[in-house]
Amino acid sequence: MSAIVIDGGIIHYESWGRGGPLILLHGWLGSWRYWMPTMEELAEQHRTYALDLWGFGDSDKSTNRHGVEKYVDLLKAFMDELGVAPAALVGHSLGATVAVKFAVANPNRVTKLMLVSLPVVGEAINRRLFTAGSTSRLGRLLGGRWPVDHEEVLAEAEKANENVIALTVQACAELDLRENLRQIKVPLLAVYGEKDNLVDPTQAKLLENTASNVRSITLPESRHFPMLDEASKFHRLLRDFLVTDDLESLTLKEEWRRRTH
């Protein structure tokens, strides 16, 4: 376990691999831990970092630290403290919102953005998420199950401050990111789960109609966690995205459909 102190509070993070920097930002339903398979997949090509945002995992739980803008400041301080060069960012739901805001505020610190289950507009968020509170109720919103039967992932999710979950969901529900997305110049890859019942997957089309430098792909068998539900497809897309400037070349290739689940 690695940790640093930022603004008087502990931030827990993990870092693996070597190569170009890649930062992974979790969503409302967990911590750094559900990025572990992604970190393992990319360890030979990238130095990956996954941190617990304020209020989640093993980071400081003070409720006065929550908020998208505070998470943007946290990410900048994190990169400064560890000397991380301009990096590719992968954000999931809340983390994707933070990634968008960070890229607008710090355009020279970001090389590429992968946005997973991003609510472009607040109306895309399932209203039931506002009152879900505990991760057990969140699990029921996911259809009675988490994406992986892994006790450690669930245990990490249970560490989240329930008030922080509720407050950050509400904050994201009040946002409209379309103007922010228009300001971003680096390549964007948006990934949604077709069966996601927490963030409306039709946001993919809205995102494509908003930004000119974006490619959106929907994974057919995924719910809210494409990186876990269809890990092989997700990781192939991410690897391809990180090495290409041709967004149109990114697609769910037919052989992936036949051979991966």
Residue 217 has pLDDT above 90, yes or no: yes
Using alpha carbons only, what angle is made at residue 152 by residues 5 and 197, rounded to the nearest 5 degrees?
95
Q: Which domain holds residue 113?
A: 2-259
Q: What residue spans of 17-67 are helical by DSSP H? A: 36-42
Residue 148 has pLDDT above 60, yes or no: no
> Number of folded domains in the chain?
1
The mean pLDDT value for 113-138 works out to 81
Q: What is the pTM of this model?
A: 0.92
Residue 221 has pLDDT above 90, yes or no: yes
What pLDDT is stored for residue 261 in this prediction?
46
Please indicate whether residue 211 or residue 84 has the higher confidence score (pLDDT): 84
Residue 9 has pLDDT above 90, yes or no: yes
The distance in angstroms from the start CA to the end CA of the chain is: 32
9-16 vs 2-6, strand pairing mode = antiparallel
Instruction: Measure the CA–CA gap between 64 and 52, rounded to whole angstroms.
Output: 16
46-51 vs 110-116, strand pairing mode = unpaired
Instruction: Measure the CA–CA gap between 214 and 113, rounded to whole angstroms.
Output: 9
Give residue 219's pLDDT band: very low, low, confident or very high (50, 70, 90): very high
Q: How many residues does the chain have?
A: 261
Instruction: Measure the CA–CA gap between 248 and 214, rounded to whole angstroms.
Output: 9
pLDDT in tens, 22-31: 999 999 878 9
The structure tokens listed for 186 are 């680096």
Residue 142 has pLDDT above 80, yes or no: no
- 235: domain CATH number is 3.40.50.1820
What pLDDT is stored for residue 47 in this prediction?
98
Instruction: Measure the CA–CA gap between 207 and 161, rounded to whole angstroms.
Output: 30
How much is the mean pLDDT over the chain?
89
